[in-house]
């Protein structure tokens, strides 16, 4: 019979942190809403036609709608996550949130006033408002993050590791303001040893531990109110979208294997077609400028084509702006870009970090080869070799490859194939148009994350070389 752990008070002061975040979120809403309130009051005072817009009820309604929009958009994009995300990520989310809220507010303001003729006034007012709000948020976010790091020490974590060698502890320690992996312990240790050590830490990281042992550790931590972080197995991700089947007195989950119905596929295709067409029209001057810059730089071809795999293993030629020298892989061997790679051209050094080299794939999307959002289409030789090492890698081909996706937003250029697979499966299993919209917008934030374009190290390149046999 297993012993029951005694209740232990948490060392990590989560309550104070939650209180700080709640106060911080409230202040952010106030800092963005008050300038709008002043602008709105000034506008209706000077342009009011019927006099009803100056009534307290209408004023509070207009301000209330704006505050609700701020809360909704900021929550959606993670703009309140001070103390959780990096300051640059939070600020990028705030810029996106403010921009979209004020864009939406132009339409709402015209509806409230009943005067479409004021659209240019609202456009000018909300443009200035956006700039003012961005400055306020930049100052506040910097101060709030500094205060958080100063007042709240990082969480002390115990890592319990399995047989799979990875660098997860180093990645976690990289967020030094949040976590510190203070000690490591093998999952081969007995449960009694593990249970005796866990209470001395704020949280436990279960790093690729076999399921039975992982379940025992999770249940023990749950019993003593200890926070747990764990790396999911592929089966864990596949069951995320399982729904409850309430037909019996025994709990049953049903998994539909990430299949999309015909109507869902049709809606997503229409979404891809319309948005890619719109983006090509809007971005055409930028695309022309980049094309000219590439041609002027070394006189070589503007585009780079490569065979990739997509839905059902179908192959197509992906289109990119050329960012490397001509014949960078003239022997046909795949060589992932490394930090400081001398094959990258001068133009390539600024179109790669900003992802502009990927923009010609809007043509692939228009043709139906790709989707706006989905797993990144892999090179054919990589699919073949990765699938030998990780048989589940072919699960990515259940949907069309995408220009952006879960792995592009939350991963890095040098994220391992296994981790990319897990991220892509998380998308496949939880797909919705709302998720597509969120990932499209959050792709902009990737520009603010220098590590997202971090090249492969010599060690990583050798691993890829060994894995692909190239």
pLDDT digits (tens, 9 = 90+) for 428-442: 988 888 899 889 888
Q: Is the pLDDT of residue 120 over 70?
A: yes
| 147-161, 339-353, 454-468: range with highest mean pLDDT | 147-161
Q: Is the pLDDT of residue 458 over 50?
A: no
**pLDDT score at 293:** 93
pLDDT digits (tens, 9 = 90+) for 173-185: 888 888 999 999 9
Q: Is the pLDDT of residue 305 over 70?
A: yes
Question: 39-43, 185-189, 466-470: which has the minimum mean pLDDT?
Answer: 466-470
**d(C-alpha 179, C-alpha 150), whole Å:** 14
155-231: what CATH class?
Answer: alpha beta
The residue with greater pLDDT, 401 or 113, is: 401
Average pLDDT over residues 257-286: 88
Q: What percent of the chain has pLDDT over 70?
A: 86
Specify the pTM: 0.77
The residue with greater pLDDT, 14 or 133, is: 133
Average pLDDT over residues 342-359: 87
The residue with greater pLDDT, 11 or 243, is: 243
**d(C-alpha 146, C-alpha 166), whole Å:** 31
Q: Is the pLDDT of residue 10 over 50?
A: no
pLDDT digits (tens, 9 = 90+) for 197-214: 999 999 999 998 998 999
Phi, psi of 381 (to 5 degrees): -65, -30
Rg (alpha carbons) of the chain, rounded to whole number: 26
The residue with greater pLDDT, 255 or 128, is: 128
**pLDDT score at 302:** 92
β-strand 253-254 against 227-230: which pairing, if any? Answer: unpaired
Q: For the chain, which residues make up each domain, given as ranges?
A: 14-151, 155-231, 262-468
Q: What percent of the chain has pLDDT over 90?
A: 41
**pLDDT score at 1:** 41
Kindly write down the DSSP assignment for every residue of 341-407, as one continuous string. -TTB-TTHHHHTTTTGGGTTHHHHHHHTSSEEESSPPPBHHHHHHHHHH-GGGGGGGGS--EEE-HH
The two structure tokens encoding residue 321: 């702006």
């Amino acid at each position: 019979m297993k012993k029951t752990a005694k209740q232990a008070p948490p060392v990590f002061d989560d309550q104070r942190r939650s209180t700080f975040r709640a106060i911080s979120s409230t202040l952010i809403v106030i800092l963005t809403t008050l300038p709008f309130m002043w602008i709105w009051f000034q506008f209706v005072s000077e342009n009011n036609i019927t006099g009803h817009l100056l009534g307290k009820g209408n004023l509070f309604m207009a301000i209330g709608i704006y505050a609700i929009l701020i809360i909704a958009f900021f929550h959606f994009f993670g703009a309140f996550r001070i103390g959780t995300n990096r300051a640059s990520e939070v600020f990028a989310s705030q810029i996106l949130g403010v921009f979209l809220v004020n864009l939406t507010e132009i339409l709402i303001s015209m509806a409230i006033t009943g005067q479409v003729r004021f659209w240019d006034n609202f456009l000018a007012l909300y443009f200035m408002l956006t700039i003012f709000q961005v400055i306020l948020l930049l100052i506040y976010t910097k101060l709030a993050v500094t205060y958080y790091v100063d007042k709240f020490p990082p969480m002390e974590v115990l890592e319990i590791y399995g047989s799979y060698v990875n660098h997860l502890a180093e990645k976690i320690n990289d967020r030094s303001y949040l976590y510190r992996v203070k000690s490591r312990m093998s999952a081969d240790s007995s449960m009694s040893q593990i249970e005796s050590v866990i209470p001395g830490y704020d949280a436990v990281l279960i790093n690729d531990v076999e399921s039975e042992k992982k379940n025992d550790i999770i249940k023990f931590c749950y019993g003593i109110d200890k926070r747990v972080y764990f790396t999911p197995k592929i089966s864990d991700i596949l069951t995320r979208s399982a729904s409850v089947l309430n037909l019996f007195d025994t709990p049953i989950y049903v998994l539909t294997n990430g299949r999309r119905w015909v109507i869902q596929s049709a809606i997503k295709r229409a979404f891809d077609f319309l948005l890619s067409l719109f983006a090509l029209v809007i971005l055409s001057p930028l695309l022309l400028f980049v094309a000219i810059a590439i041609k002027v730089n070394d006189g070589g071809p503007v585009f780079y084509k490569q065979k990739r795999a997509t839905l059902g293993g179908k192959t197509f030629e992906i289109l990119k702006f050329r960012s490397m020298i001509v014949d960078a892989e003239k022997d046909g061997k795949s060589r992932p870009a490394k930090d400081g790679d001398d094959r990258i051209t001068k133009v390539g050094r600024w179109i790669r970090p900003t992802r502009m080299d990927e923009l010609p794939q809007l043509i692939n999307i228009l043709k139906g080869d790709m989707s706006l959002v989905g797993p990144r289409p892999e090179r054919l030789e990589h699919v073949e070799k990765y699938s030998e090492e990780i048989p589940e890698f072919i699960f990515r081909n259940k949907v069309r490859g995408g220009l952006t996706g879960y792995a592009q937003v939350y991963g890095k250029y040098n994220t391992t194939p296994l981790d990319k697979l897990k991220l892509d499966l998380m998308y496949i299993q939880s797909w919705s148009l709302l998720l597509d919209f969120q990932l499209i917008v959050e792709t902009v934030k990737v520009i603010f994350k220098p590590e997202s374009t971090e090249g492969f190290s010599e060690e990583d390149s050798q691993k890829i070389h060994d894995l692909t046999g190239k």
